Amino acid sequence: MKVVIAAAGTGGHINPGIAIANEIKKHNNNAEITFIGTPRGLENDLVPRAGYKLETINAYGIERKISISNLKNALKTLKSYGVAKKIIERIKPDLIIGTGGYICGPVFHTGIKMRIPTVLHESNAFPGVAVKLFAKKVDAVLVGFEDTKKRLDNASNVIVTGTPTKVEKINLGQEQRIRLKQQLNLNDSLPMVIIFGGSQGAESINKCLINLINKNLNKKYQIVWAVGNKNYEQVVKNIKNQYNATIVPYIYNMEEILNLADLVVARSGAMTITEVSKCGKPAIFIPFPYATENHQEYNAKVLANADAAKIILDKELNEQILNKTINEIIQDKEKIRKMGMNAEKMSIRNVEENIYKEIEKIISKPKRY
């Protein structure tokens, strides 16, 4: 079996693609899997690190404004259609999978034209431009949320499978909890809040947290805060006293730390929503306000509407509002329990298996070319 996976830009697009690739290899070790991305995104690190071949095309997302740079990027993207065609003609894949984003444009245009079986996966609650554009033309659209399916009601091939992630709910043993707390310089007397803004951090969240910590507002809870590698040195310089706060550039053992936490404060990318619900944790979401189609706010509402999360809009964020919202949840053990249960109810199990079953159905159909 030969498979091409189009995934580029952010971890929210690339990691689901890698998880799907791993599931295919689990069932078919001889499968030849090639990723198509750009020369710029995280795929250049994550895909080779996962052991898969990466081909690149110089595609760009086109902004809705007139500018010289936008025009240049549009011309480069048009040229990338020809490059994508040559790659696909050379590989001759049995299946093309896309995990959303502008990279799907050139790849799926070619795949559909060549009558190659095609599958899209959409992690976000609000489907992106590529998914809406190709939804009726591909063999299947696999989505992370029921809400997404409702927003693709004109397509008859939409299946709710969930979004694949490495993070699962685990019961941490006493020794494991003690070890983790020692590593993070935490104590047992205060509840723990994990705060992060995505792989690169989030400027508005970081500014808010600097003020919150410098004013010693977090007296009733302790913080583990991932600020992003590029922001770490500057943030630490601006902190007067790390009162009840452990500041790190990045959290590599996210599964352990999420399961240790009492409350999550984060942006609301699809992967974060999936991981929070899988671990059954209450959350405060601060949606990234410039996300395409405002999809992060739609993602956050999936859990907020289930009484599993609170939303603070980025424009309303400050240290007083965040501290007040954290305390309203963290000081009420029954609220933590109920919100956590509600979050877990929204989680979809056996996601990778669900996705592979749909892939199997498509691959088993007679060839169309």
Residues 60 and 102 reside in one and the same domain: yes
pLDDT interval class at 197 (50, 70, 90): confident
Residues 142-184 pLDDT 10s: 999 999 998 987 778 999 999 998 889 999 999 999 999 999 9
Residues 147 and 274 reside in one and the same domain: no
Q: What is the mean pLDDT of the chain?
A: 92
pLDDT interval class at 201 (50, 70, 90): low
DSSP per-residue string spanning 142-189: EES-HHHHHTTTT-S-EEE-----S-------HHHHHHHHHHTT--SS
Of 156-165, 257-266, 327-336, the poorest mean pLDDT is in 156-165
Q: Is 270 helix (H, G, I), strand (E, B) or coil?
A: helix
Residue 167 maps to a domain = no
Residues 185 and 99 reside in one and the same domain: no
What is the arithmetic mean of pLDDT over 94-111? 93
Q: Which residue has the higher pLDDT, 61 or 203?
A: 203
Can you tell me which residue has the tokens 């808010």? 208
Residue 330 maps to a domain = yes
The answer to whether 225 and 242 have CB atoms below 8 angstroms apart is no
* pLDDT score for 228: 85
State the angle between helix axes of 270-279 and 11-27 in degrees (0 to 180), rounded to the nearest 10. 60
Residues 143 and 282 reside in one and the same domain: no
* pLDDT score for 144: 93
- 29 by Cβ neighbours in 10 Å (0-12 / 13-18 / 19+) ranks as exposed
35 DSSP β-pair partners? 5, 54
What is the arithmetic mean of pLDDT over 221-243? 92
Domain holding 87, by residue range, is: 2-162+349-363
Q: Which residue has the higher pLDDT, 256 or 228?
A: 256
* pLDDT score for 129: 86
Residue 293 maps to a domain = yes
Residue 369 maps to a domain = no
Residues 148 and 182 reside in one and the same domain: no
β-pair type (222-226, 2-6): unpaired
Residues 288 and 215 reside in one and the same domain: yes
Residues 261 and 309 reside in one and the same domain: yes
Q: Is 313 helix (H, G, I), strand (E, B) or coil?
A: coil
What is the arithmetic mean of pLDDT over 195-211? 86
* pLDDT score for 60: 75
Residues 94 and 233 reside in one and the same domain: no
What is the arithmetic mean of pLDDT over 352-369? 86
Provide CB contacts within 8 A for 216, sequence distance 6+: 241, 243
* pLDDT score for 204: 94
* pLDDT over 80 (residue 68): no
* pLDDT over 70 (residue 62): no
Residues 11 and 143 reside in one and the same domain: yes
DSSP per-residue string spanning 103-151: THHHHHHHHHHTT--EEEEE-SSS--HHHHHHTTTSSEEEES-HHHHHT
pTM of the model: 0.86
pLDDT interval class at 7 (50, 70, 90): very high
**Residue from 325, 287, 289 nearest 303 by CA:** 287
Residues 182 and 202 reside in one and the same domain: yes
Residues 321 and 220 reside in one and the same domain: yes
Residue 168 maps to a domain = no
The answer to whether 141 and 161 have CB atoms below 8 angstroms apart is no
CATH of residue 246's domain is 3.40.50.2000
* pLDDT score for 67: 74
* pLDDT score for 324: 98
State the angle between helix axes of 203-214 and 319-330 in degrees (0 to 180), rounded to the nearest 10. 80
The answer to whether 287 and 267 have CB atoms below 8 angstroms apart is yes
Residue 189 maps to a domain = yes
Count of Cβ atoms closer than 10 Å to residue 31 Cβ: 15
* pLDDT score for 64: 59
* pLDDT over 90 (residue 90): yes
Residue 56, φ and ψ in degrees, nearest 5? -120, 145
* pLDDT over 80 (residue 369): no
* pLDDT over 80 (residue 313): yes
Residue 368 maps to a domain = no
* pLDDT score for 331: 95
pLDDT interval class at 12 (50, 70, 90): confident
Structurally, how many domains does the chain consist of? Answer: 2
* pLDDT score for 76: 73
Residues 243 and 260 reside in one and the same domain: yes
Residue 277 maps to a domain = yes
